Amino acid sequence: MSKLGIIVALTLSLLSGAVYADLKKIDRGSSSWPSDKGYWLIFVARDSVPGHAYVVWGIRNRKTNKWNSLFGFGKYPINSAKVAFGTIPGKIVKESTSSLNSANNGLAVGVTKQMYDYALTNTNAIRSSTVPYNLIDKSCVDFTELVARAIGLNSSEPTGLENHPQEFINKLKKSNS
């Protein structure tokens, strides 16, 4: 398996027509793609305690069916605490390969280059700053939801149990087709 592991395998399987129950694909821009490139935003969650949601940006070569680029960003507390009660400093950080390997639920969205760039530009703008982190209302789920809304996906602000990464991704998948 490639260094980007299971998320690549699952996404390639999905994009090639294979069925994977926990990864849904929708199209919001493939009609604008050039003949050689496809742009993807993949909203994913991993099922750990307390869980984690993040966004993967991918550019796929449409002729070779291989990824030219694949990376993700998520929101974390700065002190790397697994659980944070109360509001503490946080950052938007690039996901590690092991984090990409652990994704097991997601929504793959084919987007226009403009949507891809817009989401990435906005993410990069907030990456340089310290941001508030709180498991209740300023968590990885809230960052993922912000990116989803930025590209026009149907999403309501996560509250209560919907703020758990798996529940949020499930609701995002149900709200978009």
Separation CA 53–CA 36 (nearest Å) = 30
Q: What pLDDT shows up at residue 52?
A: 92
Q: Which residues contact 32 (CB under 8 A, 6 or more apart)?
A: 112, 113
Q: What pLDDT shows up at residue 140?
A: 93
C-alpha dist (Å) from residue 153 to 50, 54, 65, 76, 141? 25, 15, 25, 23, 14
Determine the average pLDDT of the residues in 146-162.
86
Full domain range(s) for residue 51 = 5-175
Separation CA 52–CA 166 (nearest Å) = 8
Model-level pTM? 0.85
Determine the average pLDDT of the residues in 37-54.
90
Domain count, the chain: 1
Q: What pLDDT shows up at residue 72?
A: 95
**Residues facing residue 70 across a β-bridge:** 58
Separation CA 142–CA 50 (nearest Å) = 14
